[in-house]
């Protein structure tokens, strides 16, 4: 028998809104969000600052603040300078820049940790509208395990709460057999200016609209839902075009996927490696076991949506958070109907379930105050900084003192963000859609000495004056043997060769 969507009752409705609580009462979502914030906002700055692209995101944000406009061409490289390029994540970049200007790297980690902590407090709160606190918290813990390797101070994490609100709003509309709320258009407006993943949000709106139509009770309801969702879809698409670049931001997604083979060279765009991430495999296996052993049934379109999220994760490791958070939101109402013991209205009156209710104002203020105090202490100490492997400060200091930064550098891909933040034009950096797949492949093969074009010919063609690569990269061995080149600096992070003039 097919499973159809239908309205579900939230925990507040089930209790009749009659419970009274202490002003100091806490809640599971608040405690979980605080724990995530404390874990991420640590003196080491990891894992939030472990991605080199954070450097150039902050630099772009400061450029926007200084010039009161957004860039339209590349101004950070010497290889493709002047080529069309848009800062599609301009709003997130401005927020990162403001955080950095106010509190240094401690400000950046505070901002990112606060947003991520809020997202992981929001997720169980959204889930508990349909299911009991324990399964909601288990889903959230599983999501934390799945996303642990991608919790970074980058635009995708600043937009993370918007993703949850968008999908939860779409699912709620299906459950109540109506069009999505208009306030979701505000979510799309922010999302479209904060991260390019908003295009997936538009696709999900279409998928959930189809789910709503398939689950309609009769032809009349199907017709009404079709026009209601169509109006919302058109409004969402038009809203997504309200950016400094208009609809251009939508097209960037296609440019990223057009990188082809080069896309697989970027770690976050590679398939998940379960040998290095065994906990992710365990979560998937447990989820598969529970679904098969408990006989979970999903309507066709909802099933295809979940399978689509699984496919996206198995294709690209960066999509772990999408599968881990959006799939539970999509199936939570169905779990409540098929397994009444899991339904939110079946909550017991014990202390554990009592903590599912919203925290009291004093409890909320105390937790926020503790988080603020921790952030203030860490910012005041000023010890938070990116790890050396993506911030080669010593190598750049040497290059400046030696006068090398006036010339052209052939740099390691991962050093590009730091070079941009240092005001040094790059050969290549993390803006893959700007350089294109062919250019990225040429650089990668040249560094690995696998290019058809000899390394010295490439260096001559781009008039390279110095190189800055990781010590173990093969190109360094070739440079050591090439006439006219000599090594002038090396440490555990970077090796520099210069051309004799």
pLDDT, tens only, 386-426: 999 899 999 999 999 999 999 999 999 999 999 999 999 99
Domain-embedded: residue 63: no
User: What integer best gives the mean pLDDT of the chain?
Assistant: 92
Q: Residue 15: pLDDT band by 50, 70, 90 thresholds? A: very low
pLDDT tens figures, 110-167: 999 999 999 999 999 999 999 999 999 999 999 999 999 899 999 999 999 999 999 9
pLDDT beyond 50 at 355: yes
CA distance 361 to 26: 9
Domain-embedded: residue 447: yes
How crowded is residue 37: how many other Cβ atoms within 10 Å of its Cβ?
25
Where is the domain boundary, 369, 401, 434?
369
Check whether residue 365 and residue 392 sit in a common domain: no
251, 27, 7: which is closest to 137 by C-alpha? 27
CA dihedral over 306, 311, 313, 319, signed as positive or negative? negative
Check whether residue 257 and residue 189 sit in a common domain: yes
Q: Residue 4: pLDDT band by 50, 70, 90 thresholds? A: very low
CA distance 409 to 459: 9
Check whether residue 307 and residue 340 sit in a common domain: yes
Check whether residue 282 and residue 194 sit in a common domain: yes
Check whether residue 345 and residue 469 sit in a common domain: no
pLDDT at 379: 96
Check whether residue 351 and residue 397 sit in a common domain: no
Check whether residue 338 and residue 399 sit in a common domain: no
Identify how many contiguous H helices and E strands the chain contains and give both numbers.
Answer: 22, 4
pLDDT tens figures, 358-375: 999 999 999 999 999 999
Task: Quote the pTM value.
Answer: 0.93
Check whether residue 359 and residue 424 sit in a common domain: no
CA distance 167 to 169: 5
Check whether residue 350 and residue 400 sit in a common domain: no
pLDDT at 261: 83
CA dihedral over 152, 41, 158, 67, signed as positive or negative? negative
Backbone angles phi, psi at 232, to 5 degrees: -65, -40
Where is the domain boundary, 335, 369, 403?
369
Domain-embedded: residue 493: yes
Average pLDDT over every residue of 475-483: 96
Structural domains in the chain (count): 2
With tokens 């909320």, the residue in question is: 364
Domain-embedded: residue 429: yes
Domain-embedded: residue 290: yes
Domain that holds residue 161: 16-45+86-369
Check whether residue 217 and residue 331 sit in a common domain: yes
Domain-embedded: residue 205: yes
Domain-embedded: residue 11: no
Check whether residue 400 and residue 361 sit in a common domain: no
Domain-embedded: residue 169: yes
CA dihedral over 5, 160, 39, 309, signed as positive or negative? positive
CA distance 419 to 432: 16
Check whether residue 129 and residue 246 sit in a common domain: yes
Which strands, in side-by-side order, build the sheet including 495-499? 409-411, 466-469, 495-499, 485-490
pLDDT at 88: 95
């Amino acid at each position: 028998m097919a499973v159809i969507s239908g309205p579900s009752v939230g925990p507040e409705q089930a209790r009749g809104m009659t419970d009274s609580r202490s002003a100091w009462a806490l809640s599971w979502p608040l405690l979980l969000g605080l724990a995530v914030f404390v874990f991420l906002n640590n003196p080491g700055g990891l894992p939030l600052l472990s991605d080199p692209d954070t450097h150039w995101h902050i630099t772009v944000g400061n450029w926007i603040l200084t010039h009161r406009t957004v860039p339209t061409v590349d101004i950070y490289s010497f290889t493709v300078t002047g080529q069309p390029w848009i800062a599609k994540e301009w709003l997130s970049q401005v927020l990162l820049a403001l955080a950095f200007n106010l509190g240094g790297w401690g400000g950046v980690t505070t901002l990112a940790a606060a947003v991520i902590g809020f997202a992981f407090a929001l997720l169980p709160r959204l889930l508990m509208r349909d299911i009991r606190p324990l399964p909601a918290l288990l889903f959230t813990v599983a999501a934390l395990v799945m996303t642990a390797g991608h919790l970074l101070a980058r635009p995708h994490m600043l937009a993370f709460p918007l993703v949850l609100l968008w999908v939860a709003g779409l699912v709620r509309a299906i459950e109540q057999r109506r069009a999505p709320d208009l306030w979701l258009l505000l979510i799309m407006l922010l999302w479209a200016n904060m991260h390019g993943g908003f295009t997936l949000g538009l696709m999900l709106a279409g998928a959930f609209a189809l789910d709503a139509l398939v689950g309609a009770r009769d032809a009349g309801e199907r017709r009404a839902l079709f026009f209601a969702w169509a109006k919302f879809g058109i409004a969402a698409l038009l809203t997504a075009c309200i950016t400094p670049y208009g609809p251009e931001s939508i097209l960037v997604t296609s440019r990223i996927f057009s990188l082809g083979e080069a896309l697989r060279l970027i770690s976050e765009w590679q398939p998940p490696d379960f040998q290095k991430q065994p906990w992710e495999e365990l979560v998937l296996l447990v989820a598969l076991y529970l679904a098969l052993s408990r006989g979970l049934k999903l309507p066709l379109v909802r099933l295809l949506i979940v399978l689509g999220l699984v496919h996206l994760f198995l294709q690209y490791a960066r999509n772990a958070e999408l599968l881990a958070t959006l799939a539970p939101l999509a199936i939570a109402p169905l779990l409540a109907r098929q397994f009444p013991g899991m339904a939110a209205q079946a909550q017991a009156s014990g202390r554990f379930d009592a903590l599912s209710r919203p925290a009291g104002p004093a409890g909320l203020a105390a937790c926020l105050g503790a988080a603020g105090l921790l952030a203030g202490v860490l910012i005041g100490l000023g010890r938070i900084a990116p790890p050396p492997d993506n911030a080669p400060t010593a190598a750049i200091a040497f290059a400046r003192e030696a006068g090398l930064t006036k010339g052209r550098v052939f740099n390691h891909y991962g050093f590009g963000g730091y070079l941009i933040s240092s005001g040094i034009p790059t050969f290549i950096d993390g803006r893959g859609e700007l350089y294109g797949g062919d250019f990225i492949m040429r650089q990668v093969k040249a560094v690995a000495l696998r290019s058809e074009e000899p390394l010295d010919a490439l260096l001559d063609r781009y008039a390279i004056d110095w190189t800055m690569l990781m010590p173990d990269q093969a190109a360094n061995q070739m440079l050591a043997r090439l006439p006219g080149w000599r090594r002038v600096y090396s440490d555990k992070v970077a090796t520099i060769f210069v051309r004799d003039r």
